[in-house]
A and B are shown apart, each in its own frame.
Chain A
């Protein structure tokens, strides 16, 4: 091997892109080695990743802490379920559910984004619980406390191209993985765009952004809508997996999941919410197997992680990389 090749390989080995590609490839190969349950849990982790990623656009990038994201997650899930029960087309279900959630976020966002800090958090909490109440009370449409059952894992119908049967766990997993990777890529582009920079500007100094001639409220509303859209996308991937949708997914306690996942992973690292989603799910999944006192153990671990890793687990890696030559600060960093 020539010196040049070796150096090229070394550079490759140090590049985060290489690692990301390797990880994605490993995820695609997972069905070959993993059992059904591991795939099922990985789907859940991917769903929570998208959910938390959207939430972090609001929290980590724009500085708005929402406690009502589960509401939009539920709009996506119920929307997708209603569509699938009427028309068995997965693409339609996922797109329809996401669009419904985006629309709901646009409407409720318009009422929320003029407020910040605790006022914004309380408003979003109230709106989220409003959606929960609708899911619980509007029995004719949502099935009330029983929710919607018997939702089919419809085939993926790409009009004029192909119809894919996704009834097995392996195939549905691959579908969710493709959707998740596309959504993550899109978000990555978004936060590095001028729009993403403007949002970070709003987070760091609202008045400066306003003096620069940008409408703070408009940018916040865009962030809120995108976050809702991502929550809805995550939610719409759930009904084909579980075949049921029930009101608890809209409850405020479900809104805490992306908050916790993001805090665990790190709010100022792009990959933070994804790492956090993995940690949150893996930790809980393991603890509930061993003790019925799992909330106590989970709470303790979360406290230790949040206290021990100020800035989240993912930030350690990001900091270590940033300290090496050839790496800029992580995206979303306070550089």
Chain B
């Protein structure tokens, strides 16, 4: 009995040591003086929002495979490692430190949660590595940490929360819609979306009224009290910011309560995300939303209508059997942006690569992305649209697209604070 435990202990101990024994690698150096270029990728791959991390991983994997098949970057092959950020800032920081100081990442890419991004940002100068953020949307990442605090290592490839204020541009020319309400995600993302929307809407329509706001925390399963509270104020339009699986649950419960018979429009912030569209496809096919459901995303697979984007979608579908979500496209493009910057800098050193990013304009599946020097934000267009059923696609898509130039609805330095409270 005793002996068996000792054997078990010995085997477990040996098993723990296995990862520390690394296989002898080829120490060949490429043109940049390293064996390989290492890209450390993080996304949320456990829990309720796991599909976003999965999409980050798929986008990154595809970019790395393509670049390597075409000969790498200046003849250097890419190697990537994906780790789970768990939507926990503490885990994300630990991972970033591990990827750089232990695994030897030359670049960091990804991150879903804004909280994680805000926690990683201040650590980057110490790690001396550029982090290309590809989902975390808080405006404070680029406005406060880059433009105001001057952390140079933060670069954002995806659209920040400015995107959600597009709702104001979609509804401004419909005078019959006057009374606006929100069912909001009960954290900064929900508050700043609602505040930015109100700010923009007031400019267009001094007659707009903001009649109700109900806030649903993360992991809300039952939205009926929030829906009831907002509907009591008889709104014409609802702006909703719960996302991922929560958006699907919220929309289904709104249908059950007959909300779409009473309102004119519903704008679901990140409702253009592939996982949300997949979740509500059957309801869209049956026209349960009566054409009143609008949404946007940080990229949608059916826009822009260019050969590059079509080819990207086809390759993605062939490789993974799914449509690319926005976090897949932004991550894919981030790795190509890193490649372009390294090729221009002819170096992996952070200051030289940052210098090479200045003035960059690069064609990506989402269209032309332009680097903005003041806050290290890549600027590009993403339309909003009505959620429709198009037999061409296996899932619901955004149609009736409204394309507003990004320069019209992005915020500009010097940034004034957005009220980040309810």
Contact = CB atoms under 8 A, between A and B. Distances in A.
B421 interface: yes
A44 to B, nearest CB: 7
B313 to A, nearest CB: 24
Interface in A18-43: 35-38, 40-41
A51 B285 CA distance: 53
A145 B87 CA distance: 12
Contact of B119 (A38, A139, A244, A319): A244
B5 A309 contact: yes
Given A283-B16, A289-B81, A145 B9 contact: no
A246 B16 contact: no
A230 B187 CA distance: 31
Interface in B66-91: 81-84, 87-90
Contacts of B19: 286, 289-290
A35 B101 CA distance: 8
A145 B115 CA distance: 7
B97 A40 contact: yes
B119 A242 contact: yes
B46 A294 contact: yes
Contacts of A150: 122
A145 B119 contact: no
Contacts of A147: 89, 115, 118-119
A145 B84 contact: no
A248 B93 CA distance: 13
A159 to B, nearest CB: 29
B393 interface: no
B418 interface: no
Contacts of B94: 40-41, 44
A176 B301 CA distance: 50
A294 B53 CA distance: 14
A292 B45 CA distance: 6
B16 A286 contact: yes
Interface string B20-59: 0000000000000000000000000110000001100100
Contacts of B54: 292
Residue with the highest number of chain A CB atoms closer than 10 Å, among B103, B119, B421: B119
Contact of A243 (B5, B46, B87, B122): B122
Interface residues of B, number: 42
Interface string A292-314: 10110000000001001100010
A313 B115 contact: no
Contact of A292 (B8, B84, B102, B420): B84
Interface in A24-70: 35-38, 40-41, 44
B118 A139 contact: no
Interface in B107-133: 114-115, 118-119, 122-123
A285 B97 CA distance: 12
For the residues of A in contact with B, the DSSP-based class is helix
A308 B123 CA distance: 40
Given A149-B118, A242-B119, A292-B82, A144 B188 contact: yes
A36 B122 contact: no
B89 A244 contact: yes
B46 A244 contact: no
Interface string A141-156: 0001111011000000
Contact of B8 (A242, A244, A295, A309): A309
A246 B138 CA distance: 15
Interface residues of A, number: 38
A190 interface: no
Contacts of A44: 94
A329 interface: no
A198 to B, nearest CB: 32
A288 interface: yes
A139 B119 CA distance: 17
Given A144-B188, A248-B90, A37 B84 contact: no
B12 interface: yes
A249 interface: yes
Given A145-B188, A308-B5, A309-B8, A289 B98 contact: yes
A316 B89 CA distance: 36
Interface string A111-148: 00000000000000000000000001001000011110
A145 B101 contact: no
A282 interface: yes
Contacts of A243: 122-123
Nearest to A238: B90
Contacts of A40: 94, 97, 101
B119 A246 contact: yes
Contacts of A285: 98
B12 A244 contact: no
Contacts of B138: 146
Interface in A261-303: 282-283, 285-286, 288-290, 292, 294-295
A54 B84 CA distance: 29
A35 B103 CA distance: 11
B115 A288 contact: no
Given A37-B101, A243-B122, A292 B46 contact: yes
Contacts of B93: 242, 244
A149 B115 contact: no
Closest CB pairs A-B (n = 3): A145-B187, A37-B102, A292-B45
Given A40-B94, A147-B119, A289-B83, 9 more contacts: A36-B97, A37-B101, A40-B101, A139-B421, A146-B140, A244-B93, A283-B16, A288-B84, A313-B9
27 contacts: A38-B102, A40-B94, A40-B97, A41-B94, A136-B187, A144-B420, A147-B89, A149-B118, A243-B123, A244-B118, A246-B90, A248-B88, A248-B89, A249-B90, A282-B16, A283-B16, A286-B19, A288-B84, A289-B19, A289-B81, A290-B19, A292-B46, A292-B57, A292-B82, A294-B84, A309-B5, A319-B2
Interface of B: 2, 5-6, 8-9, 12, 16, 19, 45-46, 53-54, 57, 81-84, 87-90, 93-95, 97-98, 101-103, 114-115, 118-119, 122-123, 138, 140, 187-188, 217, 420-421
